[in-house]
Amino acid sequence: MNKSGLFLVILILIIPSLFFYTACSDPGGEEEESIDFWAMDITDYSSYSLSAVLRAEGTYCKIYVESMQDISNSTAQNIADEFDNNIYSPITAAFGETSDVDSDGKITILILDIVDGYSGSGGYIGGYYTAYNLYNYPDSNKSDMIYIDNDPGDATDAYDIIAHELQHLINYNQKVLIQSGIQFDTWINEGLSSGAEYVYSGIISSSRINTYNADSLGYIEEGMSFETWFGELENYSTVYLFFQWLRLHASNGTNVYKEIIDQPEVDYIAVVDAINSRIGDLSSANWDEILRNWFSANAFQDSSGILGYEDVISLTIHPLAGKANSNWPLYAGEGIYVAISGDEAMTPDGYINYAGLNTATSSIVTSSLYSGNYLLCYNYEGTPASIDSDFETTAPLPNPNIVVKYSAQQMQMINEAIANEPESYPIDIIVGPGISELFDSIKKRVK
């Protein structure tokens, strides 16, 4: 059954778990009870059933392992112990309480080979959460659960992924079941889950930083950021950076994440309000000013203050080059750097704004005559889903000559991506071209 059309349906009826039991043998030859679960084929978002065995149980979790996966009871118990001792309490304290639709007080963690089209190389899905399991659908597990990959992933070393997906589960409970009945914009939800990885480990993710610095596909150079979500590794990288930037400069550190969740809004305004409350230098900043300061921080990397990462993150700037005489789209929240050698007279238009950046002095010029060694051009539209018409600036960028615009085709792609975004949050953990092929229907990009 294809579920893509059902993800946006919210049913009131929630009933306890109903599982079908069969029998199988454990690695020691003893017969054990297995349970049939529903899982998602990520390649087409259809559902399929699999059998899994309860290998371990903790205070806050149950560890089920797909029958074909070679994970012993003792190994599963190690995972349960780590969840109980080092994941559950810090993550719930930082983000809120979990849902409990099956009334067992525990999170089901299903370890399996996620069907994601992986063929031996490239990217794969390390884990996912779907709120589909909270409702009384025919192929719902009617349980609070997350899925963790064990082939080619390693479930014994996936604790940051477990923390990431647990935040998604908590987020749905807080925003949809308890508060407004509406989910956060995807980028905020993903940003909070990237924050959950840090809350658990206390370590900056080198893979996220390396993705930004390498920019192997040129997406960062071309403006890709986090607000318009395509599911690319570059989205994960930039949203990770933004939420680390928030944590580093907020007066309450990682507690700013819960402050965002507690806001009544579900879009960028929730982030703006939390920033205004907790970052003194941005106490009256709007989204335009916040984005400008973050893009500038990526370029300046000051050791102190909001124009850097306090020397805990080092970034490589990627100025746009070699794209002369082309029409250039900037989706909501995206920005590009263009090298300049003198003053540039530019006119902000609509949601397109400019800033002159001098990386030698960490100065930002916001007047219409922009100076510095880079011209920052960015789109500060906060709600891309609300844009229903073309938008275009009349001012070209300096060398190369670029016009920043939306086209009807591009906006259709954005709106389709938002409409088709399921309540499922996969996290890519291996860099490779294969991952891009999995989400063509929801993250097409035209430049």
Residue 421 binned pLDDT confidence (cut-offs 50, 70, 90): very low
Give CATH 3.30.2010.30 domain extents, the chain.
Answer: 1-183
Using one digit for the tens of pLDDT, what is the confidence trace for 354-409? 999 999 999 999 988 999 999 999 999 886 543 333 333 323 344 443 434 434 44
Distance CA 8, CA 172 (A): 13
For residue 435, the model assigns a pLDDT of 33
Strands 145-149 vs 335-339: parallel, antiparallel or unpaired: unpaired
- Positive or negative, the CA dihedral 150, 153, 155, 158 is negative
Both tokens assigned to 336? 């590009």
Count how many Cα atoms sit within 13 Å of the Cα of residue 155 in the half-sphere of its side chain. 29
What's the CATH code, domain 1-183? 3.30.2010.30
Nearest to 345 by CA among 396, 414, 402: 396
Q: Is the pLDDT of residue 8 over 60?
A: no
Distance CA 1, CA 418 (A): 22
- Positive or negative, the CA dihedral 336, 422, 11, 38 is negative
How many C-beta atoms lie closer than 10 Å to residue 58's C-beta?
20
Both tokens assigned to 54? 């309860």
CA angle 310–312–318, rounded 5-degree value:
90
Both tokens assigned to 325? 């005489």
- H/E stretch holding 291 reads helix 287-300
pTM summary value: 0.83
The distance from CA 28 to its chain's CA centroid, rounded to whole angstroms, is: 40
Helix boundaries (H) for 137-286: 159-172, 186-201, 206-214, 233-249, 255-262, 268-278
Using one digit for the tens of pLDDT, what is the confidence trace for 110-161? 999 999 998 887 778 999 999 999 999 889 999 999 999 999 999 999 999 9
> Between residues 447 and 195, which one has the greater pLDDT?
195
Residues linked to residue 46 through DSSP beta bridges, in sequence order: 2, 41
Share of the chain above pLDDT 70, in %: 77
Q: Is the pLDDT of residue 436 over 50?
A: no
Strands 107-112 vs 145-149: parallel, antiparallel or unpaired: parallel
For residue 243, the model assigns a pLDDT of 98
